Structures are given as structure tokens and as C-alpha cells.
Amino acid sequence: MKRVALPILLLLLVGCIGTPSPPAGQCSGPTVSIATFNIQVFGQAKMGDPEAVDSLVGIATRFDIVAIQEVRDASETTVPRFVSEINSRNHSYAYVISERLGSTSSKEQYAFVYNTETISFENFSYLVNDTVFERPPFVAKFRAGEFDFFLVNTHVKPEKGRTASEIKALAGAVTEDEDYIILGDFNADCSYLDEKTLSSLLPGLDIIVSNEDDTTVGASDCTYDRIAITPRTREDYSSYGVYLFDKELGLDSTQAKSVSDHYPVYAEFYISCDTD
């Protein structure tokens, strides 16, 4: 069983776990929160569940930008509907979305949903051109204050052997002297990967989600969801956490599972430290 980093009382109060403060020597000031969230089969059925949608809106609007995996909807209306629902509640969010991806009939899209008051999309996005991926990662460039950065949204195939190959290929999807943040469902634990090998698969990158964190809802104890940053991004990094939405929103196990079987993982970055 993995250890929880914070006392249980504090965990129940804040609904998240992670590192609460930045490493010594980094700057201070305002930050933006960047999250990743596998919204388990996010499609029309889930958008038709008002309670699940209420929870998802509450989760998404806690962050400045959310990288979403597992959008499954042949009509491609789920994300536009979701953002419209967010904005109907006095928010100002927008989205960037990939094409439908995958070699099987169960295709998925990646999406970024972001707060337009704090984040701007730099009108630049692309898919990683590497055939090793079942679903090529989706990359988009954003800016918050002086901090401009690329987000690499990935959903690694959950298959022993294949998982390690896809994670290893992620290292080649970034330029280490630029601000790249790889985030998503890496499936980097339990039956798919020995998590102790993760750092060796991503040489030169900082993995800022601990192997001790549980990013799954329910009885499982797996650190599937990860965030990794390039060396250039270290000066901007502040802290990270796992957002335990069931505890924060007061959901029972059935209600939580209707939202997702994953917790969002997030990191905060300073927006006035960037020197590139």
C-alpha cells in the first residue's frame, strides 16, 4: 500500500495531496494551475448525467487549464457542450481539441479546456509524428503572463510492454531547452509498468508526481496519471497535487465513479519567472 504524504486530517480538509511548497531558490508570485484529467469515456452519455456534469464543471473550473483524455464521441459534440455548460455558469472558458485518434473503432480525442481570463492559446498545435503511439500525443502552445509553454497531452496504451515503449517515445516529443510539460494518463504503474523504471524511460525530464500518490478512484492504488517537465521549465515550477474530487465535493463511491475512475493531477507554475 502506498503512503499518503500528508496527515489524514489535512487530506480531508483540502481534498488534495502533493507538494505544498516550491523547491528552495525559485521565485514567488502569481501562478497558474495546469491539470490533467482522464474523464473515463467522456461522451454523450456522461453529458446526459446532470450530477456528473455538475461535478465535472466544478472540477474543471478549479484549474486554469485542463488536459482531458478519453473523449469518446463520434459526433464530436461532447467538449463543445461541456464548455458551453461551464460558460453558462458565469465562467469564460474555451477549448482546443484534436482529431479522433486510434487504430481501433474505439477512437478518442484529446482536449484542452482553459480559462480565457488567465490563459491564451498561441494558435499552434500538432500531433506527435511517431508511429509507436496508439494515440499520438496532442501538443498545443499556451501563454500565461510571461510564461509561454507547450503542453503534450497523452493517453499511453495500457498494455504490458507497449506502455514502456510509448512512455520512452515521449522523451523524444519535447525539446529540453524549451518549456514543455508532458501530462496525461501514462498508465505508469500496477500491471502495465514497473513504476521504478519510469525515470529511466524519461531521461532528462523531471517527473513531478510521486510514485507514492494514488491517482485512481476506488480500491485500486496506482499512479497512472503523471506530469513531466523539461529542464527549462524548472524555474517556473511551484508545486503539484492530486485533486481528490470525491472528498472535496462530498461524493459517495457511486457518484464518484460516475464522474471518472481517475483523479485529476495538477501542477502550479509561476507566470513571471520565465527567462526564455
CATH topology for the 30-270 domain: Deoxyribonuclease I; Chain A (3.60.10)
Domain ranges of the chain: 30-270
Q: What pLDDT is recorded for position 19? A: 47
Q: What pLDDT is recorded for position 105? A: 83
Q: Is 206 exposed, middle or buried (0-12, 13-18, 19+ CB in 10 A)?
A: middle
| Catalytic site residue from 70, 85, 108, 166 | 108
Q: What pLDDT is recorded for position 18? A: 52
| Ranges of residues in the chain whose predicted pLDDT is under 70 | 1-26, 276
Angle between the 50-60 and 78-87 helix axes, to the nearest 10 degrees?
70
| Catalytic site residue from 122, 134, 146, 155 | 155
Q: What pLDDT is recorded for position 26? A: 63
Does the annotation count 51 as an active-site position? no
Reported as a single tens digit per residue, the pLDDT across 230-242 is: 999 999 999 999 9
Rounded CA separation 13/171 (Å): 36
> Global pTM?
0.91
Q: What pLDDT is recorded for position 27? A: 78
Does the annotation count 155 as an active-site position? yes
- Grid coordinates of 261: 475512475
Rounded CA separation 188/194 (Å): 7
